[in-house]
Amino acid sequence: MNRPEKIYIASDLHLGAPDPASSLVREKRFVRFLQEVAHDATELYLLGDVFDFWFEYKRVVPRGYVRLLGQLATMADAGIKIHLFAGNHDLWYGDYLQQEIGATIYREPISRIYFGRRYYLAHGDGLGPGDHGYKLMKRVFTHPLSRWLFARLHPNFGVGLALRVSQHGGNHHYQQPQDYEEPHKGEREFLYHHARAVHAQDPGFEAFIFGHRHLLIDDQLKDGPRVIILGDWIQYDSYLTISESGCELSVFA
């Protein structure tokens, strides 16, 4: 008998931060989640910032994360499709995970249809109005010359430097949900602005699904689709399930 089709989506594990010990606890917890859902998962989406930093040299990848990578490989071998988004912390994916586990890598928002409903998926960084400084920085960092120059650094120095910058650069201040209660939520959140703009041009989406913001939100545009921000695996241990009955935001216990 065919297993029921379910698509699982999670985001923002930030493995490696803030230190190896706490990262390992978080990694083991997420692997337990993957082991539990593997029996009915047909596809798995990780919407970015799985790692607090990731860079692939020609013959070297960052050490660690073997439990996660092994579980993803096991799931891929069982026929589960693995989809991996580059986030703002792990934007330097190469072809390593494509070759090792057959993961599909995305660097831009995508549209997918499941059970006759269309979903918009993105990490969320650089979308919406404003934040021009980051948008410029992202263009610089994703330029092939920047990647080539960083690859010239010895991994001991380059990866160590990148981890220090990532962990002390202010990116681990996570807003609490009360900061986005009405009327602020939807008025000040830039991912809402992005969803509204896309919806105005293409009103056929069932839901917009984002990571990046470390907020656990399931809301709805006025007279429009749902806007779902996935939270993270630092505060919430949250994930989304898409099935024939629709999509449901849950917390792993």
* DSSP state letters, 1-17: -PPPPEEEEE----BT-
Residues of the domain holding 229: 6-251
The answer to whether residue 43 sits within a structural domain is: yes
Ordered mean pLDDT values, 10 residues apiece, the chain (253 residues)? 81 92 96 97 96 80 88 97 93 87 95 97 87 68 71 68 59 46 58 92 96 91 90 96 96 93
The answer to whether residue 116 sits within a structural domain is: yes
User: Could you identify the residue written with the tokens 């610089």?
Assistant: 140
- How do residues 97-107 score in pLDDT, each as one tens digit? 999 999 999 99
What is the structure's pLDDT at 56? 80
Q: In this structure, what CATH number is given to the domain that contains residue 153? A: 3.60.21.10
φ, ψ for residue 239 (rounded to 5)? -155, 165
What is the structure's pLDDT at 190? 85
Please give the tally of structural domains in the chain.
1
What is the structure's pLDDT at 139? 73
The answer to whether residue 1 sits within a structural domain is: no
- Residue 74 · residue 95 · CB < 8 Å: no
How many CB atoms neighbour CB 97 within 10 A?
Answer: 22
What single string gives the DSSP state of each residue in 132-165? HHHHHHHHHHTSHHHHHHHHTS-HHHHHHHHHHH
What is the structure's pLDDT at 179? 46
What is the structure's pLDDT at 140? 67
The answer to whether residue 90 sits within a structural domain is: yes
The answer to whether residue 211 sits within a structural domain is: yes
What is the structure's pLDDT at 210? 97
Length of the chain: 253
The answer to whether residue 91 sits within a structural domain is: yes
The answer to whether residue 128 sits within a structural domain is: yes
The answer to whether residue 122 sits within a structural domain is: yes
